Structure 1
Amino acid sequence: MNLLLKEIRHSPLLWLLIFVPVVIALERIMPDAHTLLFVLAVIAIIPLASLLSHATEAVAEKTGDAVGGLLNATLGNLTELIIAVTALHAGEYMLVKASIAGAIVTNSLFMLGASLLLGGLRHHVQTYNRAGGRLYSALLLMATIALLSPSAVADLDFPGREATVHRLSAALAFLLIAAYGLGLLFSLKTHKELFASQDHGEGAAPTLPLGVAVATLVVVTMLVALVSEIFVESVQKAAETLGMSPAFVGFIVVALVGAAAEMAVAFSAARRNRLDMSVSIALGSAAQIALFVAPVLVLLSYVVGPQPMDLQFWPGAVTMVMIAAVVTSFITNGGQSAWFIGALLLCIYAIFAVTLYMIPPGSHGPV
């Protein structure tokens, strides 16, 4: 614990942790100050993400980059799951679906692209185990096919179409969860030797012992989830003031803030030439959202939502997810990277963001 306090004292960024109790208290005192709560929530998430970065890197030193990346992606997606459940309970299905699609695209394009760019600016050429990239890209492609099916059925006109779409979405949810479980069994058990990390990371050992690091991961993840819940409640009102649509808020804003903790770890690992961990976090997180978070939300909608939610996304969202899956599959196939590749991924993400801001889905998109 003394090492953790020392880490906080010697890192000016972690001094922003004071905003965590401030935003929690302010939400109780001034629940209608949406713009202020939005700004403070974003500021509070930044040091929590940094602290989570230190703890996750300490755990990864003991578990290996693949398991460490999986652990970080799981904890980070737990935050996004809580954000989505809050919106699900309120019946904001467009926001939920936009946050799902946005998280997949943000992790596979923005997080991976920024990691490749930051790592490439420090190291001329970086190499990594491409087996992990191939696995996660294949899972993303399969998930995209699952998203296409309800949209295809929705275009047909027959009695009971809506009920059929809900039944199809529930069946696909179980299939996606099963596929994700098989992926974990393949990468962590039966063929784990294929996913061994490339050993060229810089040797700066983390200061936190394993026990403190695990405890920090649990506590900080809960705090991130709590602050993120305040964020999603305030961001909708702030979005109205700024002229942003619910689709843009979910696809871009919620996805970026929800992935802040994972991004901090992925960027730090890339700068230390540990690109295996960065790829594992970025694509592993995207695969988890597509094959675990999304289907879990569909099943939870039968319990916490005002009505069941389906997997029918608006065509633009499915197109963006498909492009992201194909691009990442192509990029990670070589097992090598330089800064320009990361810049290209960021440009594709920027194209999506500008397009969605200028031309929101509107009322024609399925909800």
Structure 2
Amino acid sequence: MKFLPNIRRAATFMLTPEKTISKPPNTWRSIRAIILSSWFNVLLVFIPISWAINFALPTQYTLIFVLTFLAIIPLAKLLAYATDELSIRVGQTLAGLLNATLGNAVELIVSIIALTKCELRIVQSSLVGSILSNLLLVLGMCFFAGGMRFSEQGFGQSAVQLNSSLLTISVIAVLLPGAFQMALQGQPSYSEESTDYNILKTSRGVAIILLFIYGSYLVFQLFSHKALYHDSGEDILQSKGYEGQNPWLQLRLYRRKNATPVQSPLPMGDEEVAINPAVTIEGSDTESEIETYMSVPVSLGLLVAVTVLVAVTAEFLVDSINGLTESGAIGKEFVAVILLPIVGNAAEHVTAVTVSVKDKLTLSLGVAVGSSIQIALFVIPFIVTLAWMMGKQLTLLFDPLESIVLFLSVLTVNYCVQDGKSNWLEGMILMCLYLILVVTFWFYPGTSLIETL
């Protein structure tokens, strides 16, 4: 039995709600589908191993971090799988809301656990790192992978520009507290205590406004202008194949023995769907029925079970970070900005790149950019509001370097998507920018600004 798709089917159903849904399978077939849903499930073996090491060898912080890190990756994939199965049955509106709410559940759980332990620096840095990972690494891989089969790929320019505006608003909200502090530092009446208090109050007010913007964005996307987010529209440019021989395909064929050059801009087979409308893929718009792989009770049970496992494993992960970074071999800033986002975004990386190769770049952008918007306009202000309720002084005053990097990254992505089309070089630019950030944060020790607040 082959491994089963998930997000692609859910997205197809959301775009074409008139399709019928197949009869739900029995419990055994549902469990079998869960087991075979992804190759990531092989990593589930690290869950009991990481738990055992955490209790047996609590001072082995590096080992605990690595094992819990590997354990959360398949849990994130299963969480997305359960969410997509439920989305198929609840209709387009509730499906969008469900995916928006649970799309970044792993990041949200990790942030809440770090918040309860008063690890405010990890909370802020990991959320910024998730945005950077989605905008630069995931989007760059989508552009590059699609560019290996297409000379240019088109996508919904209106929706992407709107998303870019929303990201810009969130970046402004992150930059303003820092500008607030810098503007008052040179004043004769400057008081650090009163300034910190005002920044805290400002952050809480801005967080409420950002949550309102996110709610408005959901209404816009799911009700008033949902056609903008369809995979086909008037503003989507037609993808173009390479003229003559595809250089990337020829490079692959050159490495194979007894291979003959192919003149088609795409490899032969089911991957020709982007150029040849007669060719279809599983879950494509030509199918009249959406196949379900799990029943509703099993989907809900999986959702609850995975959430509990993520919460417990994430607690062990957060507990091991301080011990891991105390040796000085690796910095807390690098762990929070670079490593932790990989845990929650690994499943999204694979999905976004897979559909971009099939010329579904609008869906890829929805996964990458849409996830960044969820974090910027929902998760970050929600965590600030939650900290307010818990009596913890979490603000929108982020590390100065993180704020600048976030601003420059959003600016770079805006330049790349403003023409409504992509190519492999734009993807390489975004990926190389992310590698630059990886090198930078490896040597960056971070500031103690967050702890002092």
The answer on whether the counterparts of 1:76 and 1:261 sit within 8 Å (CA) in structure 2 is no
Partner of 1:138: 165
Partner of 1:101: 128
CA drift at 1:320? 0.9
* Cα deviation code 1:280-333 (max 9, x no counterpart): 12111111111111112212223435x411111122111111112112222222
Q: How does 1:167-316 map to 2 (within 5 A)?
A: 167-198=201-232, 203-205=281-283, 208-209=293-294, 211=296, 216-241=302-327, 243-304=329-390, 307-316=392-401
CA drift at 1:142? 0.5
Greater shift, 156-165 or 55-64, is seen at 55-64
TM-score, with structure 1 as normaliser = 0.87
* Cα deviation code 1:221-258 (max 9, x no counterpart): 44334323322222332233462222222111112223
When residues 12 and 95 of structure 1 are mapped into structure 2, their CA distance, relative to the original with a 3 A threshold, is: closer
Q: How many residues are aligned here?
A: 366
The answer on whether the counterparts of 1:147 and 1:312 sit within 8 Å (CA) in structure 2 is yes
Q: Kindly report the root-mean-square deviation, in angstroms, between the aligned alpha carbons of the 2 structures.
A: 3.0
CA drift at 1:35? 1.8
- What code does the residue aligned with 1:204 have? E
Q: How does 1:32-47 map to 2 (within 5 A)?
A: 32-47=59-74
Q: How does 1:19-98 map to 2 (within 5 A)?
A: 19-52=46-79, 54-55=81-82, 71-72=98-99, 74-98=101-125
When residues 74 and 30 of structure 1 are mapped into structure 2, their CA distance, relative to the original with a 3 A threshold, is: farther
- What code does the residue aligned with 1:278 have? S
Q: How does 1:135-174 map to 2 (within 5 A)?
A: 135-155=162-182, 156-157=184-185, 158-159=190-191, 160-174=194-208
Percent identity of the aligned residues?
A: 34
When residues 50 and 309 of structure 1 are mapped into structure 2, their CA distance, relative to the original with a 3 A threshold, is: closer
- What code does the residue aligned with 2:228 have? L
Partner of 1:336: 421
Q: Secondary structure at the match of 1:208?
A: coil
- In structure 1, runs of 5+ residues without a counterpart are none
Partner of 2:41: 14
- What code does the residue aligned with 2:232 have? Q
Partner of 1:356: 441
When residues 174 and 103 of structure 1 are mapped into structure 2, their CA distance, relative to the original with a 3 A threshold, is: same
The answer on whether the counterparts of 1:69 and 1:280 sit within 8 Å (CA) in structure 2 is no
- What code does the residue aligned with 2:155 have? Y
Counterpart Cα distance in 1 of 2:386 and 2:155? 37
Structure (1/2) with the larger helix percentage: 1
Q: Secondary structure at the match of 1:259?
A: helix
CA drift at 1:360? 2.8
Counterpart Cα distance in 1 of 2:36 and 2:105? 28
